[in-house]
Amino acid sequence: MTAEIIDGKAFAARVRGQVAEQVARLKADHGITPGLAVVLVGEDPASQVYVRSKGKQTVEVGMNSFEHKLPADVSRYDLFALIDRLNADPAVNGILVQFPVPDHLSEAEIVARIDPAKDVDGLHIENAGLLASGQKAMVSCTPLGCLMMLRDRLGDLSGLDAVVIGRSNLVGKPMAQLLLRDSCTVTVAHSRTRDLPGVVRRADIVVAAVGRPRFVPGDWIKPGATVIDVGINRLPHEEDGGKGKLVGDVDFDSAVRVAGAITPVPGGVGPMTIACLLANTLTATCRVNGLDEPEGLTA
């Protein structure tokens, strides 16, 4: 058996199409253009690529994109002054500070400074708390994109065994919350989990967000399971003949032979993350203006 390969790129293009439609309607009916601000501290090349492609896609769906590049040694004071300005700016509906940030800055402090209504990463404790208590929140883009793909493939998720490998605030924890809300039986695994292979073998749904290249081999996967690979790992150049190939946290070649469906890397979760960032910016814009939320684009 060979798994269905879930085309995240095509799925993301459809989501962006829906966002673009609604943005056009907001403009025509209400004269509102959503705006997304992305803040990049330092010059990490991978982050620069990612921020550039976000900016481009933001403009393509008809939103305003505001990019702020700050030097790696920016003071906490100057970064907070920028966040305060973005919080107060009515043209800005979403704010994303790209992580990681240099060591002299605290991610927790940065997140706490962002207006929860503009927190399109869903990291603010207000949003994390709302999600955990089953209320309307801004939900982190990556888990939101994973949920959309899972619902699309499986329909009703209730009663399914789901394993999330990883417990970060950005991916693992909100993913587990969303799956729980959809009535999965959720296990959250991490670096101290005993018998990870045994835990993964029980799962109908596996979400891998570990940050280790090809960490999950095919023989951990239950036949027919749906595998969502969040990992974005760039292999060192010498391992792939010079290109610095991107691989996920799942060993795709062995897993594809066992799973029922699997997301590839690249072309899986990554494009959905950016599409959901745009969807979240639209949602934030509708909420702040007291308008109906876009259908099918929220959790």
Ligand X SMILES: NC(=O)C1=CN([C@@H]2O[C@H](COP(=O)(O)OP(=O)(O)OC[C@H]3O[C@@H](n4cnc5c(N)ncnc54)[C@H](OP(=O)(O)O)[C@@H]3O)[C@@H](O)[C@H]2O)C=CC1
Ligand Y SMILES: Nc1nc(=O)c2c([nH]1)NC[C@@H]1CN(c3ccc(C(=O)N[C@@H](CCC(=O)O)C(=O)O)cc3)C=[N+]21
Name which of 97 and 150 has its Cβ closer to ligand Y: 97
If we measure between CA atoms, which residue out of 187, 189, 139, 130 comes closest to residue 161? 187
User: Quick one: what does residue 33 bind among ligand X, ligand Y, none, with the CB cut-off 5 to 8 Å set by partner type?
Assistant: none
The reply to whether 165 sits near ligand X by the rule CB under 6 A is yes
How far is CA 234 from each of CA 110, 231, 244, rounded to the nearest angstrom?
A: 27, 10, 6
Residue ranges that bind ligand Y, judged by CB under 6 A: 49-50, 96-99, 121, 141-142, 170, 232, 246, 265-267, 270-271, 273-274
Name which of 26 and 141 has its Cβ closer to ligand Y: 141
Q: Which two tokens stand for residue 295?
A: 């259908």
3-class secondary structure, 293? coil
The reply to whether 230 sits near ligand X by the rule CB under 6 A is yes
User: Quick one: what does residue 190 bind among ligand X, ligand Y, none, with the CB cut-off 5 to 8 Å set by partner type?
Assistant: ligand X
The reply to whether 262 sits near ligand X by the rule CB under 6 A is no
Binder among 48, 87, 168, 185 for ligand X (CB under 6 A): 168
The reply to whether 57 sits near ligand X by the rule CB under 6 A is no
d(CA 41, CA 184): 38
Binder among 150, 232, 259, 278 for ligand X (CB under 6 A): 232
How far is CA 216 from each of CA 64, 234, 240, 282, rounded to the nearest angstrom?
A: 39, 16, 20, 35
Alpha helices in the chain (DSSP H): 8-30, 45-60, 76-88, 107-113, 125-132, 141-154, 172-181, 196-201, 252-255, 269-288
d(CA 175, CA 182): 11
User: Quick one: what does residue 40 bind among ligand X, ligand Y, none, with the CB cut-off 5 to 8 Å set by partner type?
Assistant: none
d(CA 241, CA 167): 33
The reply to whether 185 sits near ligand X by the rule CB under 6 A is no
User: Quick one: what does residue 174 bind among ligand Y, ligand X, none, with the CB cut-off 5 to 8 Å set by partner type?
Assistant: none
3-class secondary structure, 17? helix
Binder among 42, 55, 211, 217 for ligand X (CB under 6 A): 211
Q: Which residues are annotated as a binding site for NADP(+)?
A: 166-168, 232
What are the residues binding ligand X (CB under 6 A)? 142, 165-168, 170-172, 189-193, 196, 209-212, 230-233, 249, 269-270, 273
